[in-house]
Structure 1
């Protein structure tokens, strides 16, 4: 026979077990685990992409946080070369940054990569949609653009135009009249859909005939003093202008399109201190006008498919009744030209 205190103790134990079950303090049922496989949400550059920039990265976005070591091992490419791989904080975006820039070629360089199903999520589920992709970089092209004959010539400070001379004279003559030179380059040799930002370089080349008449690089420059003058390379001044399809006297004093002035300097390579003396000389001279060409392409229709420049000296004349000038060739193989390097998809 049970005593009353034993029946009370049993009731207390039963009540305690019941209360524990209600409050959830017992061991929970084991989690069956995550069995949903991860997937690739997006890849850039996309497969089939063309016109990919040389500094582009490959960016892979996954549907959930990944086992990073497995995903990196699953990324394979025989063309990209050594790369640095980084992740976002949540482990869902993998960025592959090639250690060397991608290459541009005349036909576009082809690159490919794949991501295999050995990539897993944090629970070990394999990738559900392994992928491969191929893309091409921009094509790097070059064009040598000629002058448009109707835009070439010299104008005096009396607004007289000489547009037919074989040489374009820049400087002053013995009668103390000055000459400025004008050159318009025909842009129709560039693709109609060329994006101005894809101009890599634009170099004007002009040939200065022998001899240089008088001393224009002394007499038509402002005087200077001190040792610094020894290191000045003196150049004829080039300005960016727009005067239209034909040369007219009014172009002599037309306002430049910007305050940016360029020099026309000897294009022969130099090194060391010798470069300090580089200025305009006889033979081929050059100047980079990439920014000007980009502006002309932006305003291509309004400017008649032309890129135009004006040459002058800092002083139009020194009034000494002696000629001081250079002659820029406008004949044969030494005509001025604009050499453009650009990118196309």
Structure 2
């Protein structure tokens, strides 16, 4: 018999047999016995192989035991680049004068360009043009075989596209004027300044940069520069670029937070041949401001949890303990904060200070349980409630991996309140504030779970003695 025919006939008989036995109610198909998987120990604070924050240091965040944040959506393939490129700067700068005849023209773009699409034309025409690029395709250099003409105004026009075929944004034309043997009778001008006029949120250590249209007389121009306000900043350090066209001023002291800095260059400033600046140039900018915010602990993500009971009946702060109990229960203290009140436009977290209040102590936890350690964790939107230790999410929170190496908290820093600087930890949480719903969370625990002596060695926080379990103070800068 043909093997394929034999296979088909056997398959047909099998189908008939199964159909017959089901319809007749006779269970003729033998099903293997189901074998239960090996029983597993429940997560225990004393088990060595648990993913316990104290057993190993890991910079990889644990999967969030609270709100997983998984909406089931598909992976974003990215957003198409529709931003048009711009010219960031040119050298010589637009409107420069007394430019050397052998100058090289440099053009810096805001992003990599598609080289074949980029063209640069110069009027009046110049023979022997050579265009080169940097390795990132974001800066082009134009050189000429022949010298430029004396006392001539040249206009450079640039066209092109970026790698996503977005056309170059205006302005695309710039001009400069060369020098020559004819006497220079043209007064200098100020082409650009840094910080820009009326800019806000400027760093206190900022430099002031003034770009002139042509080489300047250094002594006279430096004498023409002055800081009008605030007082006490005029003993400044001044330096120049080799071409004597850019004056850089380092202020004598850091201006106060939020102060308005006003400076000027008077008409006493002169170019290299003695032409005076036609008008006094006065500009100003505002220094970054300083703010401070204090946040109370978030009850939903704060409180003590013990193992192996994993008991947490509610979110109410009445009593919080840290250490081990007479039942050899290992208590850990979680301190969470919701910081959505911070301004989104802040520019720097200068300091973050955690404070928590300890009302009393039983036994000697520091001697019997080792170091007290503060850890940086991420437990999601809540420290889940659990009455009988049957909530896996709370167990996962208890054993959440530390995001950084722990800070050892000396006994002499514990009190009412105890204080720890957590600036770097909070800075990283602020960068991830949208992913973490503006939450930042910490955990206190001793290096030993319990000493097993059925005697309490605990730190106690009591709402009657200390109504606030913890606070977080943030010192920040904003525009």
User: What displacement does 1:161 show?
Assistant: 2.3
User: What displacement does 1:77 show?
Assistant: 1.5
SS at match of 1:325: strand
Quote the residue 1:185 is aligned against: 337
Would you say 1:242 and 2:378 are equivalent positions? yes
Unaligned 5+ runs, structure 1: 1-30, 222-233, 266-277
C-alpha contact 2:226 2:234 (8 A) present in aligned 1: no
* Per-residue CA distance 1:294-333 (angstroms, 9 max, x = gap): 1111111221211100110111111111111112355665
RMSD: 1.8
1:58-97 to 2 correspondences below 5 Å? 58-78=208-228, 79=230, 80-97=233-250
Whole-Å separation in 1 of the counterparts to 2:284 and 2:201 = 12
Whole-Å separation in 2 of the counterparts to 1:118 and 1:41 = 17
Whole-Å separation in 2 of the counterparts to 1:282 and 1:49 = 45
Question: TM-score w.r.t. structure 1 length?
Answer: 0.78
Distance 1:131 1:149, change over 3 A: same
Quote the residue 1:262 is aligned against: 407
SS at match of 1:65: coil
The ranges of structure 1 where at least 4 consecutive aligned residues each deviate by more than 6 angstroms after the TM superposition are: none
Alignment coverage as a number of residue pairs: 283
SS at match of 1:113: strand
Instruction: Name the structure where helix makes up a greater proportion of residues.
Output: 1
SS at match of 1:96: strand
1:122-201 to 2 correspondences below 5 Å? 122-158=272-308, 159-161=310-312, 163-195=315-347, 198-201=348-351
SS at match of 2:305: strand
Distance 1:188 1:91, change over 3 A: same
Whole-Å separation in 1 of the counterparts to 2:377 and 2:342 = 20
Distance 1:329 1:245, change over 3 A: farther
User: What displacement does 1:86 show?
Assistant: 1.1
- Flag the structure with more relative contact order, 1 or 2, with Cα contacts below 8 A and sequence separation at least 6: 1
SS at match of 2:223: helix
Unaligned 5+ runs, structure 2: 1-180, 385-393
Whole-Å separation in 1 of the counterparts to 2:188 and 2:422 = 52
Question: TM-score w.r.t. structure 2 length?
Answer: 0.57
Whole-Å separation in 2 of the counterparts to 1:149 and 1:165 = 7
C-alpha contact 1:264 1:286 (8 A) present in aligned 2: no
Distance 1:165 1:33, change over 3 A: closer
